[in-house]
Chains A and B, each alone.
Chain A
């Protein structure tokens, strides 16, 4: 832990700030996941963790390792880009599955994008089928 003692105070403060920010946002996201009531509301909470939650921790990591190794350590940017790009995939998968179930069960309050068609037809026709 000698590296920690050698850090200048301003860097230590900055690292602590971002680390705490990221960690508390991730925690709030988890609490939100527990406390929100419907599925569609719950889906919003974890995005706190994947945006500034992860972002804060990664910024802290970037500053810390750049200071300790005295060279810019930037590969954390890649992590945040990958997280940002892959979140919609899981989210859409979950949301579409729930939407499909809700429509099949005839739940109220779930709007349809098509005029009149529901269930299987709606799901089939909503895949982006553009060809290039």
Chain B
């Protein structure tokens, strides 16, 4: 099983992608399965790091939190643009000390922080685990850091570490 399916998650997502791109039918499922198996074997040659998912159960709630936060910050940033540019924005850099060390987890955290308008991932120091972030409109620096740690880092750590 392990030899046939070295990357089960990758194979499953490739199959899902194939089915989304085509129509659902038995033929397409079979064709997609063949392509997914072949493609994940090729991927094996690159020896990608295998993320280990520890707690699946947290993924939907994290997705939902991120979805809501992106919507909220979209409204906030759109409002800021409408109210006349950056004159009123108190933007600045924030340093977030991260405890998350898993590479996949960090990659997802980067997607979340960048994907949320108003916060941008600028630089990460792997040695000290510190993240430099730029925030468009800071209310309270400490609350901002606590929010990142609590809302995104904690669930990501539970999922990956």
Contact = CB atoms under 8 A, between A and B. Distances in A.
Contacts of A91: 114, 120-121
A44 B21 contact: no
A8 interface: no
Contacts of A44: 77, 117-120, 134, 136
Most buried by A among B23, B113, B118, B120: B120
A28 B81 CA distance: 7
A93 to B, nearest CB: 11
By size class, the interface of chain A is 35 or more
B105 to A, nearest CB: 11
B20 A113 contact: no
Interface of A: 25, 28-29, 31-32, 35-38, 40-41, 43-45, 47-48, 50-52, 71, 74-75, 77-78, 84-85, 87-88, 91-92, 95-96, 99, 109-111, 113-114, 125-130, 132
Contacts of B86: 35-38, 41
B77 A111 contact: no
Contacts of B121: 88, 91-92, 95
* CB-based closest 3 A-B pairs: A35-B85, A32-B81, A88-B114
Given A47-B118, A132-B49, 13 more contacts: A40-B134, A47-B120, A51-B70, A51-B74, A51-B117, A78-B21, A88-B114, A91-B121, A95-B123, A99-B132, A109-B93, A128-B103, A132-B50
B26 interface: no
Interface residues of B, number: 47
Contacts of B117: 29, 44-45, 47-48, 51
B7 to A, nearest CB: 14
Contact of B20 (A75, A84, A130): A75
B91 A40 contact: yes
A111 B91 CA distance: 14
B20 A50 contact: no
A111 B132 contact: yes
5 contacts: A41-B86, A47-B117, A87-B111, A99-B132, A113-B128
A52 B70 contact: yes
Contact of B125 (A28, A38, A126, A130): A126
A32 B20 contact: no
A99 B81 contact: no
B91 A75 contact: no
Contacts of B115: 47, 50-51, 84, 87-88
